[in-house]
Amino acid sequence: MNQKGKGKSGCAKQQRKRILIVDPQPLARERLAQLINREADLTARIVAEGREAAMEAIKTEPPDLVVTELSAQDLHGRGFVQELHERWPGLLVLVLSGFPDAVCAERALRAGARGYLSKQEPSSSVLAAVRNVLNGELWLEHKTAEQVLARLAIPVGDSEAAPERSLAERELDVFQLLGSGFSTREIAESLRIGAKTVETYRARIKEKLGLRSSNELLRLAISWVHRKLELEVTE
Amino acid sequence: MNQKGKGKSGCAKQQRKRILIVDPQPLARERLAQLINREADLTARIVAEGREAAMEAIKTEPPDLVVTELSAQDLHGRGFVQELHERWPGLLVLVLSGFPDAVCAERALRAGARGYLSKQEPSSSVLAAVRNVLNGELWLEHKTAEQVLARLAIPVGDSEAAPERSLAERELDVFQLLGSGFSTREIAESLRIGAKTVETYRARIKEKLGLRSSNELLRLAISWVHRKLELEVTE
DNA sequence: ACAGGACGTCAGGAAAAGCCTTACAAATCG
DNA sequence: CGATTTGTAAGGCTTTTCCTGACGTCCTGT
């Protein structure tokens, strides 16, 4: 909206906030870069080659903000946020998600993200989110925020039915990927851990949820994902 | 790449192919519209307000091609693509997907789409896909294509091959029981046949539906049962 | 009428996935 | 500080799935 008039000489360029975009979807990332670059006080750079390249880029030229994607097939993205947060604790991270969901939002925030929004939000909101997070504020969509707060507000009551309350992080990863139709082996690859480890999680999930067969586990996981997607659609 | 040079007079504008974009993700759809609009012989229009609005737009101003998204909503429930195909059988539809997956591709094609590609493909591929589909060709990514080729033999006309149309009685029994959460062994008992026989059916189902893993089979079966239940409830 | 194909049924052996047990370091909790 | 949870994983055994055949029964078309 208003910009200009802050740097009278060439130094304005150096005051631009640098934003690094890490997103596997070209259409989305290109548009986002455009939107950012046409703001006079922001400048965007895209990393298209994956997470390692992103790390490299951050090391060589630290950005003020990283905007990254969190999509269904790659829950490992949460690990990315966490990794970022561990290596550069002060780095601001905004998560764009193709998988809008309060549980994911909460987990992204726990992992160190400073904002979370759905790709279904209008461009203007995306830009608003970028600015807010740059200003040091936390950014969440309203509905998501409410849901997250509601979840945080509920102490360890007695509503034990929801898998996400009783499962550990990694177990939830596995559960969700199982429900999305991935095999144990694929999950292992996606999470970058051994297949044997995934088997351990499956066993623990089954124990925690009181399931007897692998089949029941799969069925429950799939229904859970279904339900989540339905909620997402209706709201 | 090359455009221009085809319309020497003002009539070029009227020859522009009209493309309607239906996608809930603003970033992606805006970028796509840009890419299309900067081609001299193509013009894009965005529908942001949902499927009904899209139907309306198609009715009032028929496009040459509809590019739409396939996200979570369409994994179950009857698809937008199918509805489009029923109402305008000749309408070209290209599906952009956030979930690169052969099963989804398969379903999209069966529902009447003429192309399917992942949002992870580079912008240039997206544009290439648009052009190919406009030219009457079928467009698939290579990996997806290989997986789907098996059944491309089925003409695009009025296939409508839901599982119940292509599976034999016993195969459908097994499919449904699988989707209801029964194991191979349980199904065998339930149908009073040998477990080995059930295995045979599973194999045949997988072949007929072009599934590669037992996991995919299970996921499809479960989704199918879900969908059936939903339809029963809502209708 | 008879050949070809889809259907229903099953088996043997190889390959893969899953289950049970054990392990251990780090984090967290009480 | 000790106990529990979490994240990671291996070894060995059991079950399931996959691949390859097989065989009789219906239809269907020419």
Region of poorest pLDDT, from A13-22, A68-77, B77-86, B176-185? A68-77
The residue count for chain A: 235
Calculate the CA B214 to chain-centre distance.
Answer: 22
> What angle, 0 to 180 degrees and rounded to 10, lies between the N-to-C axes of helices A214-234 and A195-209?
80
Proximity of residue A191 CB to strand D below 7 A: yes
Window 141-180 of A: residues touching B by CB (8 A cutoff) are none
**What CA–CA distance (Å, rounded) separates A117 from B204?**
43
Protein B161 CA to nucleic acid C15 C1', in Å? Answer: 32
| C-beta separation of B114 from B139 below 8 A | yes
Residue B27 to residue A73, Cβ atoms within 8 A: no
pLDDT of residue A223: 74
Q: Locate tokens 């979930």: which residue?
A: B99
pLDDT at B231 over 60: no
pLDDT value at residue A82: 77
Q: Kindly determine whether the C-beta of residue B186 is less than 7 Å away from any atom of nucleic acid strand D.
A: no
Residues whose CB is less than 8 angstroms from the CB of residue B42 and which lie 6 or more positions away in sequence, other chains included? B16, B17, B19, B36, B130, B134
A163-234 CATH fold: Arc Repressor Mutant, subunit A (1.10.10)
pLDDT in tens, chain A (235 residues): 444 444 444 454 567 899 999 988 999 999 999 999 999 999 999 998 877 888 899 999 999 999 998 764 455 555 678 778 878 888 999 998 876 666 677 777 777 888 888 888 889 989 989 998 998 878 887 666 666 555 544 433 333 445 665 788 889 889 988 888 788 998 998 888 999 999 999 999 988 887 878 887 887 887 777 666 655 544 3
Is residue A13 within a helix (H) or strand (E), and if so which, with residue range?
Answer: helix A11-15
- Mean pLDDT score across all residues of chain B: 76
How far is the CA of A66 from the CAs of A18, A61, A134, B119, B185, in angstroms?
9, 12, 10, 21, 50
Q: Which residue of B has its CA nearest to A179?
A: B219
Q: Which of B96, B74, B93, B79 is nearest to B25 (CA)?
A: B96
**Which stretch of B137-141, B154-158, B174-178 has the lowest confidence by average pLDDT?**
B154-158
Domain covering B14-149 in this structure, CATH number: 3.40.50.2300
CA of B203 to C1' of C14 (A): 16
* B11 vs A55: CA distance, rounded Å: 51
**Domain segments of chain B: what residues?**
14-149, 163-234
- Quick count: other Cβ atoms within 10 Å of Cβ A125? 15
The pTM of the full predicted model, rounded to 2 decimals, is 0.67
Q: Do B28 and A27 touch (CB under 8 A)?
A: yes
Is the pLDDT score of B54 beyond 70?
A: yes
Instruction: Please give the C-alpha separations between residue A9 and each of A15, A28, A77, B64, B169, in angstroms, as whole numbers.
Output: 11, 33, 40, 50, 78
Three-state secondary structure call for residue A8: coil
Partners of residue B122 in chain A, C-beta under 8 Å: 26
Is the pLDDT at B39 greater than 90, yes or no? yes
Q: Is A218 on the interface with B (CB under 8 A)?
A: yes
Chain B residues in contact with A185 (beta carbon < 8 A): none
Percent of all residues in chain B with a pLDDT value above 90, rounded to a whole number: 27
Cβ contacts (< 8 Å) between A28 and chain B: which residues?
Answer: 25, 27-28, 31, 119
Sign of CA pseudo-dihedral A42, A43, A48, A54: negative
Beta bridge partners of B93: B66
